[in-house]
Amino acid sequence: MTDSTKNEAISGETSLLKLDGRDYVVLPREDYDRLRGLAKLAQLSPFPAPDAEGNYPAVEYARASLARDIVRDRVNAGLSQRELARMAGIRVETLCRIETGKHTATVPTIEKIDRALRKALAARRRQSPVHNGRRRRSRAAR
């Protein structure tokens, strides 16, 4: 790995650092937080298995699908569960049960979460210097 090595999942520059004979990758905090969140996505429980006729249990599948969407959007917005729950006006425990697929959320609860995520994602896009995978140059640098 070189200083200019980039990974598709990492939007900023990375650097290699060697301390006590061990290699470390240094990257911007926003990339670290996003990658950490993506790792959490990989740990989500799998979708339910189909039955003998190839049909999936609808409620369990819907729970898992909704959970994955919420976690993905929360991670992309850079929010913790606590932050999203506060913004949505719901309890952290409720959000946790929804994100793990253990609870079927009511429509009003899903709408609260959706509004909070949309607001957070819009704010993140407005403040992000990244556009189309590349850092924007400031007007002064042009």
Domain boundaries, the chain: 44-128
Query: Closest by alpha carbon to 7, among 24, 19, 21, 25?
Result: 25
Helices 58-77, 81-88: crossing angle, 10 deg rounding: 100
**Most confident among 2-6, 37-41, 112-116, 125-129 (mean pLDDT):** 112-116
According to DSSP H, which parts of 20-106 are helical? 29-42, 58-77, 81-88, 92-99
Kindly indicate the confidence band of residue 10, based on its pLDDT and cuts at 50, 70 and 90: low
pLDDT of residue 46: 75
CATH number, span 44-128: 1.10.260.40
Report pTM.
0.65
What mean pLDDT is reported for the chain?
Answer: 82
User: Distance between CA 136 and CA 129 in Å, rounded?
Assistant: 5
pLDDT of residue 1: 38
CB 12 within 8 A of CB 30: yes
